[in-house]
């Protein structure tokens, strides 16, 4: 993340303390190491723990993991914030064991992603800790985030949460990813990481990736070795099953020339 977003957070005067993890998820030991390594006024003071659910590589936080993070943050006077750009996908994963209401009880703030789950634009920020609500509207205005027609964004969420539409859209995205995952696995290709959400990371030969890129647009996530790389495939609320099957068919029938 440090290489992306044009370092927007640091541009506001805050320092990001990055932590390397293998599965995309932070645990209390990771955070403790950062806190213990920043001990006095000669260093930045850790204050907010920022996680994503699902993570940038599609893994999800289980309820016990969130409970452990919450307990550690509260005992160390740290703010726990969840980036929920794809929160619907995490909550609707077959491996998820946490309700939206339970998440809200464990964190200080989180947001419900609308842009990546059917809304035209916008996200819904939920502030769970009362002390963080003080002067929030003033901060919005100061940072240029108070929109003149902001109520129109809210209307989208009223509709998305009517009759569980938000969750149905997320379930559809996950089902399409499940189909991709199953078919690619049956074709004999491994994955970079176990991802139970709408982001998957199959490892393919570089020649096959080049062939597929002639017809499809996707992101090459990381190089595995000289002959293979992991790519990132993301399904959405609008992904059609026939499009998934078409990609899978091309993947299975494309030959190295």
Lowest-confidence segment of 19-33, 110-124, 139-153, 207-221 by average pLDDT: 139-153
Mean of the pLDDT values across residues 131-135?
Answer: 94
Please state the φ and ψ torsions of residue 134, each to the nearest 5 degrees: -60, 125
State residue 13's pLDDT score.
Answer: 86
State residue 3's pLDDT score.
Answer: 55
Peptide bond into 54 cis (omega under 30): yes
Q: What tokens appear for 123 in the block?
A: 């996200």
| Residue that has been written with the tokens 């996680």 in this structure | 51
CA distance 215 to 247: 9
Mean of the pLDDT values across residues 228-253?
Answer: 96
> Between vectors from CA 174 to CA 243 and to CA 66, what angle results, nearest 5°?
155
State residue 22's pLDDT score.
Answer: 86
Quote the radius of gyration of the chain (alpha carbons, Å): 20
Nearest to residue 65, comparing CAs of 107, 128, 118? 107
Distance of CA 74 to the CA centre of its chain: 23
Nearest to residue 185, comparing CAs of 166, 200, 175? 200
CA distance 136 to 146: 11
State residue 182's pLDDT score.
Answer: 97
**Long-range CB pairs of 26-31, under 8 A, 24+ apart, other chains included:** 26/51, 26/69, 27/65, 27/68, 27/69, 28/68, 28/69, 28/71, 28/72, 31/69, 31/72, 31/73, 31/76, 31/78
122 phi-psi bin (left φ>0, alpha ψ -120 to 50, beta other) = left
13 phi-psi bin (left φ>0, alpha ψ -120 to 50, beta other) = left
Residue 101 pLDDT level (bands cut at 50, 70, 90): very high
pLDDT digits (tens, 9 = 90+) for 174-211: 999 999 999 999 999 999 999 999 999 999 999 999 99
Which 8-state DSSP code applies to residue 76? T
State residue 257's pLDDT score.
Answer: 57
Tell me the domains of the chain and their CATH numbers.
Answer: 5-160 (3.40.640.10), 165-253 (3.90.1150.10)
| Residue that has been written with the tokens 């994955």 in this structure | 191
């Amino acid at each position: 993340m440090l290489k992306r977003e044009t370092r927007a957070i640091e541009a506001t005067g805050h320092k990001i303390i990055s932590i390397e993890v293998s599965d995309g998820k932070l645990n209390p030991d990771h955070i403790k190491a950062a806190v213990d390594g920043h001990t006095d006024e000669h260093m930045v003071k850790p204050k907010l723990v920022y996680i994503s659910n699902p993570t940038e590589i599609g893994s999800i936080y289980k309820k016990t993991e969130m409970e452990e993070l919450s307990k550690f943050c509260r005992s160390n006077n740290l703010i726990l914030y969840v980036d929920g750009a794809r929160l619907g996908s995490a909550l609707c994963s077959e491996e998820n064991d946490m309700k939206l209401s339970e998440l809200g009880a464990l964190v200080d703030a989180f947001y419900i992603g609308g842009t990546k789950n059917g809304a035209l634009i916008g996200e819904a920020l939920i502030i769970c800790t009362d002390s963080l609500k003080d002067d929030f509207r003033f901060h919005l205005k100061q940072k240029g985030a108070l929109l003149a027609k902001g109520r129109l964004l809210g209307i989208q969420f009223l509709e998305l949460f009517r009759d569980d539409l938000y969750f149905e859209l997320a379930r559809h995205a996950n089902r399409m990813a499940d189909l991709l995952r199953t078919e690619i696995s049956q074709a004999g290709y491994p994955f970079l990481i176990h991802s139970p959400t709408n982001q998957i990371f199959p490892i393919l030969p570089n020649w096959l990736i080049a062939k597929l890129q002639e017809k499809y647009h996707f992101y090459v996530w990381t190089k595995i070795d000289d002959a293979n790389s992991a790519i990132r495939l993301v399904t959405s609320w609008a992904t059609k099953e026939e499009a998934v099957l078409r990609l899978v068919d091309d993947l299975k029938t494309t030959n190295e020339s």
